[in-house]
Structure 1
Amino acid sequence: MGYTLFYLSLIVLIPLVTLFVNTFTLTWEQFWSAVSSPRVVASYKLTFGASLLAALVNLVFGLLIAWVLVRYKFPFKKLIDALVDLPFALPTAVAGISLTALLAPNGWVGQWLEQPAQAFQNTLPLLQQFGPRLLLLSALASALAFALGRLGSGRGAAVHLAGALRSLALVLAVVAGAALVIGLLLLAYGWFASVSGIEGVKVAFTPKGVVVALIFIGLPFVVRTVQPVLEDFEKELEEAAGSLGATRWQTFYKVILPAIVPALLTGFALAFARALGEYGSVIFIAGNMPMVSEITPLIIIGKLEQYDYAGATAVALVMLLFSFLMLFVINGLQAWQRRTTGSANK
């Protein structure tokens, strides 16, 4: 117990106490001026708003991804399962640079979002040149996979080799087919934009880019908290609900969802907390324009670079208090849900 308290004090309590001590060196007027300037307030709105929106999006799509990974079998499932952890392993600066290169006005996706009509004119010759080749490659790879699938019975090294070649052929077929379909969809979107004259949407260097970056880095928190709960869920309960006449939606809403709500709230809290303090992946795609796309961690870094340590700790203290309040509310909802579920089970 003593070692635990010592470690907790060294890692958590002492830094927090130092934050309060540095902040208390300011007078009330100085503190209020530091935390309520228009530039800082605008950064609060962007940081908390974007973090909340990203956490809500991750709550929905994280549940869908965890559900698919647990309940369905499909090719390359393990690879996709491993890719979920990519934001954990990827340096935040690399993630920010990658998203910026992808969503910038001259990026692969950004040009279609911001200038769809111009991108349509630029891409049409490429699709005319490579479209038939992609279609032919997809057809040949599918035929090869089908032919190798007929060799999948029996034993021996030849069968294992045929299975490996079939998987490779399936990969080629899926990649070529997906590239062709995506190209056709983009061309259809670009053609519609050029005919109707609709304007594009700028994502990079705007608050929208901040939300995209926070969604990217927060998704694994929801998936990895919900996935083990779904794996351990007793399917007999679903079968019992079905035998009693419940529909699939009723089974999910009244049987499965109450069991995974605590995990969903935990994943939401983790994704929200991570998004609040995210810096490296956001500054590249945000544009960092004051009053528009400047996040609070950047404000703190700027004050530290100006040797305004008290002002930096004041802004950080406000973020800390709001974060504690949000986590307190989420933990309260978890406790209430557990009590409600326990009373219903009795």
Structure 2
Amino acid sequence: MTDTLVTPLGPAPTRGRPSGTAKGGAGLFRLTPTSRLGLGVALVWFSILVLLPLAAVVGAAAEGGFGRFWDTLTDAQTFAALRLTVVEALLVTVVNAVIGTIVAWVLVRDQFPGKRVLDVVIDIPFALPTIVAGLVLLSLWGPQSPVGINIVNTRQGIFLALLFVTLPFVVRTVQPVLIELDADVEEAAASLGASRFTTFRRVILPSLVPAIAAGSSLGFARAISEFGSLVLISGNTPYQTEVASLKILKFLEGDNQAGAAAVAVLLLIVAIVTIVILDLISRRVARRG
């Protein structure tokens, strides 16, 4: 006997199998013709813009074999550029995670004159071409600085340039979450005797961590690949202020595409690993609350 029930409207669906699905679960992935077309267009577009270029870079890095790939990355000058890039990007990410969250909190929770203007100004690093961002920083902090401070060809200059171009990421990812947070939950926690710090740590922060991690991931990926603003600021001095993106340019100018691709692949790996780590941390914090 089967477990199909007869009802006035006909046989009821068999228990344990979703209605309208084929045997073996094939119906779970049934797509309408429109959905198939949309999925096909999305996959083709994603492949053309992302997968194929990435495959080409990996292929170029593998041209000389693993030995040449490893020699390129372990070269003292190249390793110094990679280390400087990753360290500065990590420092910038930490600062952005803290300051960006504070700025987002102020924009959402506080009212003050000029709030709308500040909200617009935060997006300027998004709108400016990066080479223009470098020129802006050079005008204020360069050899002819009106305030008498020159940070060109220093690590401080690199740090400031990366802060400038990555400023909006955390702010813009945290803002919508803060707007959607229910204030009643905070009031309930306060009514139960929770301090402001406990309320923030146990109620607000778990909701913000995924957004902070997402913005930090975007900012870190942008920082390790930044080029335009650093051309004018870093000075590109080997072992001191040479960053990975400018090292890639040197490889290309020296007709060493395999070396440039090797550095690019390593930066890609570092970015992916960092994004995964931040995602795992955000999930754990949000789950523990």
CA RMSD of aligned residues (A): 1.4
Q: Give the equivalent residue in structure 2 for 1:274.
A: 222
Structure 1 residues not aligned, in runs of 5+: 114-201, 342-346
Which string of whole-angstrom CA distances, capped at 9 and with x for unpartnered residues, describes residues 167-209 of structure 1? xxxxxxxxxxxxxxxxxxxxxxxxxxxxxxxxxxx63310111
Which string of whole-angstrom CA distances, capped at 9 and with x for unpartnered residues, describes residues 121-155 of structure 1? xxxxxxxxxxxxxxxxxxxxxxxxxxxxxxxxxxx
Structure 1 or 2: more helix by fraction: 1
Change beyond 3 A, Cα 1:338–1:245: closer
Give distance in 1, aligned partners of 2:137 and 2:62: 39
Give the C-alpha shift of residue 336 in structure 1: 2.9
Q: Does structure 1 residue 226 correspond to structure 2 residue 174?
A: yes
Q: Does structure 1 residue 49 correspond to structure 2 residue 97?
A: no
Give the C-alpha shift of residue 105 in structure 1: 4.2
Aligned residues: 251
Q: Does structure 1 residue 29 correspond to structure 2 residue 67?
A: yes
Question: Letter of the aligned partner of 1:293 in structure 2?
Answer: T
Question: Letter of the aligned partner of 1:297 in structure 2?
Answer: S
Q: Does structure 1 residue 256 correspond to structure 2 residue 204?
A: yes
Which aligned pairs between 1:131-146 and structure 2 lie closer than 5 A? none
Which string of whole-angstrom CA distances, capped at 9 and with x for unpartnered residues, describes residues 20-43 of structure 1? 211221033322222211110010
Give distance in 1, aligned partners of 2:194 and 2:288: 22
Identity fraction in percent: 41
Q: Does structure 1 residue 108 correspond to structure 2 residue 134?
A: no
TM-score (norm 2): 0.83
Q: Is the Cα–Cα contact under 8 Å of residues 209 and 286 in structure 2 kept in the other structure?
A: no
Q: Give the equivalent residue in structure 2 for 1:308.
A: 256
Q: Does structure 1 residue 203 correspond to structure 2 residue 151?
A: yes
Question: Letter of the aligned partner of 1:278 in structure 2?
Answer: E
TM-score (norm 1): 0.70
Task: Give the one of 123, 128, 131 matched to 1:85.
Answer: 123
Task: Give the one of 131, 136, 140 matched to 1:98.
Answer: 136
Give distance in 1, aligned partners of 2:40 and 2:84: 41
Higher RCO (CA < 8 A, seq sep 6+): 1
Structure 2 residues not aligned, in runs of 5+: 1-38
Q: Does structure 1 residue 246 correspond to structure 2 residue 194?
A: yes
Q: Does structure 1 residue 13 correspond to structure 2 residue 51?
A: yes
Give the C-alpha shift of residue 338 in structure 1: 4.2
Give the C-alpha shift of residue 332 in structure 1: 2.0
Give the C-alpha shift of residue 108 in structure 1: 2.4
SS of 1:293's equivalent in the other structure is coil
Q: Is the Cα–Cα contact under 8 Å of residues 251 and 257 in structure 2 kept in the other structure?
A: yes
Give distance in 1, aligned partners of 2:90 and 2:188: 37
Give the C-alpha shift of residue 79 in structure 1: 0.6
Q: Give the equivalent residue in structure 1 for 2:17.
A: none
Give distance in 1, aligned partners of 2:261 and 2:123: 32
Question: Letter of the aligned partner of 1:226 in structure 2?
Answer: V
Q: Is the Cα–Cα contact under 8 Å of residues 158 and 230 in structure 2 kept in the other structure?
A: yes
